[in-house]
């Protein structure tokens, strides 16, 4: 809600955040996207270097490729080289932790290697069964996933984050994840990049009509980001709001719903393809918008936005009422 009489100067607003025990200058994570091919090396270098300069966290894309082909390791390690002091999140898929047809599950030693490869501060396990369901070669064996996750959480030297990639996490799933030992939730909700739509496009290019239709049919499947945030914060775990966050104002809304930080993927990939200056300009805009929203909400610190009065309207309100969040 708007505060017509703020008590502090806009320039004195504190935008910092604490995430898993570490201070960030802004409540922002450059969400995991890439690694595993030559072009990805440049993108990871630009994004990680911008993360280091601006004091935000940085996530890598799935590191499975580096375990299969060791010549690809530098496309990931470039991130740590470019961001020696940043909070870096390693990345592996839940499907790799469960035996699939014709593929064994990664061992605890493999997972450890993924973490050590980039001296990661946390490990994200991405939950992407929607994408896997639409891919023809998709890995949809999920029985035993909870147990595998529990084992990883018990053995990991760094905190493990559960991360959806566009279909969202409900309160009920977040509670199960907490029991498994997960230390933070990246809600990866509906409303941003759609892997169902992306896989439908790829299927169409291959001339695979059945998978094209399946992807299109499930483009709107999932829990919207705002709803997922409201549900997951109930667990008491730190929550990353990802999925369609496009501005500092979106971030302010997510923080008002209780998120600790926000994750942004696609807009920062676009900027990274232009170069580091474009990424830093995007982050500057984000910071100014978040500062403005915090100031106009009458708060001194962005991390206090959850204390601000708020109104939830429209479809989001319908979801929250029906789910009793």
Ligand X SMILES: Cc1cc2nc3c(=O)[nH]c(=O)nc-3n(C[C@H](O)[C@H](O)[C@H](O)COP(=O)(O)O)c2cc1C
CB-nearest residue to ligand X: 192
Q: Give the CA distances from residue 220 to residues 197, 214, 215, 322, in Å, rounded to whole numbers and listed in that order.
A: 9, 11, 10, 18
The least distance separating ligand X from the CB of residue 6, rounded to whole angstroms, comes to 30
Task: Kindly state the smallest distance separating residue 63's Cβ from ligand X, in Å.
Answer: 8
Of the two residues 9 and 137, which places its CB atom closer to ligand X in the complex? 137
Nearer to ligand X, 61 or 224 (CB): 61
d(CA 88, CA 153): 17
Q: With respect to ligand X, which residue has the nearer C-beta, 233 or 272?
A: 272
| Footprint on this chain of ligand X (rule: CB under 6 A) | 31-34, 61-62, 91, 124, 126, 163, 165-166, 188, 192-193, 242-245, 264-266, 269
Question: At closest approach, how far in Å is the CB of 220 from ligand X?
Answer: 14
Smallest gap from Cβ 149 to ligand X, in A, equals 14
Helix axes 225-232, 248-256, angle to 10 degrees: 30
Which CB sits closer to ligand X, 180 or 251?
A: 251
Q: Quote the CA–CA distance of 166 and 19 in Å, as a whole number.
A: 22
Q: Which is nearer to ligand X, 17 or 43 (CB)?
A: 43
- Nearest distance, CB of residue 272 and ligand X, angstroms: 11
Q: Is 240 helix (H, G, I), strand (E, B) or coil?
A: strand
13-266-145 Cα angle (round to 5): 100
Strands 57-59 and 88-93 come out as parallel
The backbone region for 262, taken as left when phi is positive above 0, alpha when psi lies in -120 to 50, beta otherwise, is: beta
């Amino acid at each position: 809600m708007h505060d017509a009489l703020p008590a502090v100067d806009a320039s004195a607003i504190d935008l910092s955040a604490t995430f898993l025990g570490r201070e960030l200058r802004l409540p922002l994570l450059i969400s995991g996207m890439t690694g595993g091919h030559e072009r990805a090396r440049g993108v990871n270098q630009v994004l990680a270097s911008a993360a280091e300069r601006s004091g935000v966290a940085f996530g890598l894309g799935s590191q499975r490729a580096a375990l299969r082909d060791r010549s690809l390791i530098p496309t990931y390690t470039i991130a740590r080289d470019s961001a020696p002091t940043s909070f870096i999140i390693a990345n592996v898929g839940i499907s790799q932790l469960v035996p699939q047809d014709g593929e064994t599950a990664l061992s605890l030693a493999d997972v450890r290697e993924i973490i050590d490869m980039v001296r990661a501060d946390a490990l994200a396990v991405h939950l992407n069964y929607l994408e896997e369901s639409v891919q023809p070669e998709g890995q949809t064996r999920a029985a035993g996933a909870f147990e595998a996750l529990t084992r990883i959480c018990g053995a990991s030297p760094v905190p493990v984050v559960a991360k959806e990639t566009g279909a969202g996490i409900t309160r009920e799933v977040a509670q199960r994840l907490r029991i498994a030992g997960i230390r933070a939730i990246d809600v990866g909700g509906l409303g941003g990049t759609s892997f169902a739509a992306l896989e439908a496009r790829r299927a169409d290019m291959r001339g695979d009509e059945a998978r094209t239709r399946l992807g299109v049919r499930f483009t709107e499947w999932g829990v919207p980001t705002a709803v997922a945030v409201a549900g997951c914060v109930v667990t008491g775990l730190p929550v990353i709001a990802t999925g369609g966050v496009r501005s500092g104002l979106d971030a302010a809304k997510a923080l008002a719903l209780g998120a600790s930080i926000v994750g942004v993927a696609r807009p920062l990939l676009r900027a990274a393809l232009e170069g580091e200056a474009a990424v830093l300009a995007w982050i500057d805009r984000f910071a100014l918008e978040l500062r403005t929203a915090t100031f106009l909400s009458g708060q001194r610190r962005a991390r206090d936005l959850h204390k601000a009065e708020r109104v939830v309207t429209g479809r989001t309100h319908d979801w929250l009422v029906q789910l009793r969040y």
